């Protein structure tokens, strides 16, 4: 039997904006795997993010497959596919369509070679449905497809985010993809794009104290949840020290200064609380959401008290944190929050009430320790001065 090397399908071309063309057509769902594949999210070069899809959800696929194998199934929603530039469209009429109307024609889609190495399309939306159709014990199942030509993986990723962000898609997947996008996004994602970039750098810069420690879809072995880091960053960007380096007209800022400060602070934290550093959250509340967010607020307070320099050094942070070493109970013992409130070290939870209680305790202890240290320093200075005067 002759191997087909392309599909020729009736389609409608719709122009949106100055340069965007969409193609709507129907095709047997069993043929989708011949020309479209999944661009699975993964790392390249140890840190860059490529692809954009999450792993298939097997239970969801099984449910759809069972429905497809039932007596009278229907899948009315379109599969969305991003094509490369090998896909072409030939209009069947030379008459230019009126504004807003679609142009009929034939869409030519190359099929994969015998080894399945070449695919002209990537599934942006509908991967679970496509997998269910592929595995279902049915002869064929036609579906509607909406396709567009994408010039790069970046453009596919942006469309994937825009299509899926209103849906119950794992937010950590969306946030890990954000740093690699450039197009205009919904306001919430626009604001999160910069904090996601900072998170990405903290996780993959080799000089970062959090190198490889933040848990993301492409780094599942990390110990700190990405959402905890994002919340710490976003608070500082809106109300803390990182706000100093923001551009008031955009959603970004002085990335290098921000990272310099963040790395200095968390290096100092790792030195002061080395017994609690790098452990899973169940063994260390320092690496827990409550600890990360509370320590971020402490970072803001220390930086606020050291405004004589734009970026406090690691040694400044270390000097300010060191007196708190024995006042914190990240891995054992009890926290004494005053007024009879005591909590076992692992009873502090990642909820607003506990985060506020822990943050206020750390800030109070920092103020007490700073006052004592400053007072001792002044007395020491006076003693030295008096000694010199008597000689």
pLDDT tens digits along 246-290: 876 666 789 999 999 999 999 999 999 999 999 999 999 999 999
Q: Are residues 149 and 176 in the same domain?
A: no
**Would you say residue 1 lies in a domain?**
no
pLDDT classification of 126: cutoffs 50, 70, 90: confident
**Would you say residue 327 lies in a domain?**
yes
Q: Are residues 176 and 165 in the same domain?
A: no
Q: Are residues 291 and 197 in the same domain?
A: yes
- Of the candidates 130, 150, 169, which is a domain's last residue? 169
Closest CA to 127 of 177, 69, 75, 80: 80
Backbone angles phi, psi at 61, to 5 degrees: -60, -45
**Residue 187, Cβ density class (10 Å: 0-12 exposed, 13-18 middle, ≥19 buried):** exposed
pLDDT of residue 379: 39
Q: Are residues 144 and 181 in the same domain?
A: no
pLDDT of residue 154: 66
pLDDT of residue 384: 34
pLDDT(72) > 50: yes
- Of the candidates 142, 169, 196, which is a domain's last residue? 169
Kind of pairing, strands 36-37 and 121-125?
parallel
SS3 243: helix
**Would you say residue 263 lies in a domain?**
yes
Q: Are residues 132 and 200 in the same domain?
A: no
pLDDT of residue 307: 85
**Would you say residue 337 lies in a domain?**
yes
**Residue 241, Cβ density class (10 Å: 0-12 exposed, 13-18 middle, ≥19 buried):** buried
pLDDT of residue 158: 64
**Would you say residue 109 lies in a domain?**
yes
Q: Are residues 17 and 71 in the same domain?
A: yes
Q: Are residues 219 and 180 in the same domain?
A: yes
Q: How far apart are CA 27 and CA 33, in angstroms?
A: 11
Number of domains, the chain = 2
Q: Are residues 280 and 336 in the same domain?
A: yes
pLDDT(340) > 90: no
Determine which of 77-81, 190-194, 312-316, 358-362 has the lowest per-residue pLDDT on average: 190-194
Q: Are residues 199 and 210 in the same domain?
A: yes
Q: Are residues 165 and 211 in the same domain?
A: no
pLDDT(353) > 80: yes
- Of the candidates 141, 169, 197, which is a domain's last residue? 169
pLDDT of residue 193: 76
pLDDT(53) > 70: no
Q: Are residues 92 and 161 in the same domain?
A: yes
Q: How far apart are CA 213 and CA 226, in angstroms?
A: 9
Identify the bridge partners of residue 43 per DSSP, sorted by sequence position. 49
Instruction: Please give the share of the chain, as a percent, with pLDDT higher than 70.
Output: 74
pLDDT of residue 84: 84
**Would you say residue 233 lies in a domain?**
yes
pLDDT classification of 212: cutoffs 50, 70, 90: very high
pLDDT classification of 202: cutoffs 50, 70, 90: very high
pLDDT of residue 232: 94
**Would you say residue 314 lies in a domain?**
yes
Expressed as residue numbers, the domain containing 21 is 6-169
Q: Are residues 137 and 93 in the same domain?
A: yes
* Mean pLDDT estimate for the chain: 81
Which is more confidently placed, 318 or 96? 318
Closest CA to 345 of 356, 357, 334: 334
What's the average model confidence in pLDDT over 130-134? 90
pLDDT of residue 346: 94
Left if phi > 0, otherwise alpha if psi is -120 to 50, otherwise beta: which for 46? left
């Amino acid at each position: 039997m002759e191997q087909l090397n392309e599909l020729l399908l009736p389609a409608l071309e719709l122009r949106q904006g100055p340069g965007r063309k969409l193609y709507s057509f129907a095709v047997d769902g069993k043929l989708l795997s011949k020309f479209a594949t999944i661009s699975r999210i993964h790392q390249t070069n140890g840190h860059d993010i490529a692809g954009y899809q999450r792993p298939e959800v097997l239970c969801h696929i099984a449910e759809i497959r069972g429905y497809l194998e039932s007596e009278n199934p229907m899948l009315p929603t379109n599969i969305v596919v991003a094509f490369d530039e090998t896909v072409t469209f030939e209009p069947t009429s030379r008459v230019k369509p009126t504004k807003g109307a679609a142009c009929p024609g034939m869409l030519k889609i190359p099929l994969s070679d015998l080894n399945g190495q070449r695919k002209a399309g990537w599934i942006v939306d509908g991967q679970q449905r496509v997998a269910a159709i592929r595995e279902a014990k049915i002869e064929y199942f036609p579906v509607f497809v909406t396709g567009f030509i994408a010039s790069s993986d970046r453009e596919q990723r942006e469309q994937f985010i825009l299509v899926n962000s209103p849906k119950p898609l794992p937010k950590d997947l969306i946030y890990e993809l954000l740093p690699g996008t450039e197009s205009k996004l919904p306001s919430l994602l626009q604001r999160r794009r910069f904090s996601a970039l900072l998170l990405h750098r903290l996780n993959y810069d080799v000089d970062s104290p959090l190198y490889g420690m933040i848990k993301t879809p492409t780094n599942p072995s990390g110990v700190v949840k990405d959402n905890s880091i994002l919340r710490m960053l976003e608070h500082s960007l809106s109300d803390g020290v990182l706000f100093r380096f923001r551009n008031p007209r955009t959603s970004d800022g002085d990335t290098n200064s921000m990272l310099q400060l963040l790395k200095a602070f968390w290096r100092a934290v790792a030195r002061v609380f080395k017994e609690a550093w790098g452990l899973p959250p169940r063994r260390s509340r320092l690496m827990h959401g409550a600890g990360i967010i509370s320590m971020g607020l402490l970072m803001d307070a220390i930086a606020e008290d050291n405004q004589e320099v734009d970026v406090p050094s690691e040694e400044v942070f270390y000097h300010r944190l060191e007196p708190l070493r024995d006042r914190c109970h990240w891995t054992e013992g009890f926290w004494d929050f005053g007024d009879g409130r005591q909590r076992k070290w692992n009873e502090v939870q990642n909820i607003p009430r506990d985060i506020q209680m822990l943050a206020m305790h750390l800030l109070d202890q920092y103020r007490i320790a700073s006052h004592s240290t400053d007072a001792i320093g002044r007395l020491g200075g006076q003693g030295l001065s008096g000694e010199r005067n008597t000689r």
